[in-house]
Amino acid sequence: MAGKGTIAILTGGGDVPGLNPAIRAITIRALREGYRVIGLRRGWAGLVDLIPDDKADNSENLLFLTEDIVNRAGRTGGTFLHTSRTRPTHLPRAAMPPHLQSRYTAEINDVTADVLKNIGWLGIDYLIPIGGDDTLSYAQRLSQEGVHVIAIPKTMDNDVPGTDYCIGFSTCVTRTIELTHRLRTTAGSHERFLVIEVFGRYAGFTALLPTMGGAADRCIIPESPFDIERLTELLAHDRNRHPSRYSVVLVSEGARMLHEENMSFESAETDQYGHRKLGGIGDKISTALKETSAKYNGGRRINVVNQRLGYMVRSGDPDALDSIVPMAFGNLALDLVQRHITGRLVAVRNGIYDNLPLDVVTGRKKVVNVERYYNVDRLRPIYDFHQKPIFIMTSDE
């Protein structure tokens, strides 16, 4: 065991580019400062499935990190520690590891007592989880239980409260702009509407920012239910003005039409955090646009190119920002370790690196300020930049 103690790192929730650079930054700095570093596999599942016995094979649950290991992975996308959506406070009996099945017999179980036992058995002095608000809400629970937690925000949706920026967001925006521009050739060749569904359950940042960057004519976000008649009218207007006679709309997966109470889901199945898998709003909009378009096109229907970008925007290597910010976040976390300050979330606030109490992740939702940043009638961003932070409407106010 290293002289200063043990730091453990985990990644939870969906994968994004930038996780491996964050793990690399934490590990190299920690090793050089004299700490031992453990990578916990598969998010919180690593601490749930761990068997606290020296004779047990826990290679599926943890990995002792070295500079060689993290240097090889540090330039790549995804997370080499793997990830899951395991929620230790709501663990289904079907997901219970064999060695705990006799202790927990309910259909849904809180196994936090064993998670704490495993943290103690591993000798973890500082726990650094990297994740979105679901993963970090459990980190806050552990912090309340006395675990020394320093959290790093990660999510393509950029909706972790307290920070302007979350790891993965820039690459998501970059990929969305790139892929949308590629699809323009097909939309233009056939003179169609182009409907692109992007990630964004509750927050529309991943639709707004690419639109602001010139990827689309209009965008639909979860914070503001929309009128399909108005969208059709606007897209027909945009199409008529374009030399190649096409127009583009980006649609957040959590968007809703007016008078609809629920989002569009692929199935009724939920994960351990109670989330159903979203998908289908792009299909609904495409069908409705075809049916409505003749009204705004001299009686002739306009066909639609409909594409869900899905995992294409979260795969592959990180872009420049998602290589730099995770490095900074990792070093900020180690700064706090060195000062023995825990229960914190590292963050960017108004363009400045900072940290704040971890309980911010459970205190509120971070969504687009519609009044300031979204023109509800025009279905597009408000282009006002004076005295705004560099990430524009993504700042957490």
Higher local confidence (pLDDT), 201 or 9: 9
pLDDT, mean over the chain: 92
* 155-193 residue pLDDT tens: 999 999 999 999 999 999 999 999 999 999 999 999 999
Give yes or no for residue 108 having a pLDDT over 50.
Answer: yes
Q: What is the pLDDT of residue 47?
A: 98
Q: Are strands 108-109 and 91-92 parallel, antiparallel or unpaired?
A: antiparallel
Domain with CATH 3.40.50.460 in the chain: 171-310+370-394
Per-residue confidence band for 1, with pLDDT thresholds at 50, 70 and 90:
very low
Share of the chain above pLDDT 90, in %: 86
* 24-56 residue pLDDT tens: 999 999 999 999 999 999 999 999 999 999 999
* 367-396 residue pLDDT tens: 999 998 999 999 999 988 887 777 665 655
Q: Which CATH class is domain 6-167+318-363?
A: alpha beta
On whether the 171-310+370-394 domain is CATH 3.40.50.720, my answer is no
Please report which helix (H) or strand (E) contains residue 382, including its range.
none
Per-residue confidence band for 363, with pLDDT thresholds at 50, 70 and 90:
confident
Q: Can you state the angle between helices 228-241 and 281-293, rounded to 10 degrees?
A: 70
Domain with CATH 3.40.50.450 in the chain: 6-167+318-363
Give yes or no for residue 278 having a pLDDT over 70.
Answer: no
Of the candidates 114, 133, 157, 164, the residue annotated as catalytic is 157
Q: Are strands 344-349 and 150-153 parallel, antiparallel or unpaired?
A: parallel
Residue 157 among the catalytic residues = yes
Give yes or no for residue 208 having a pLDDT over 90.
Answer: yes
- pTM for the predicted model, two decimal places: 0.93
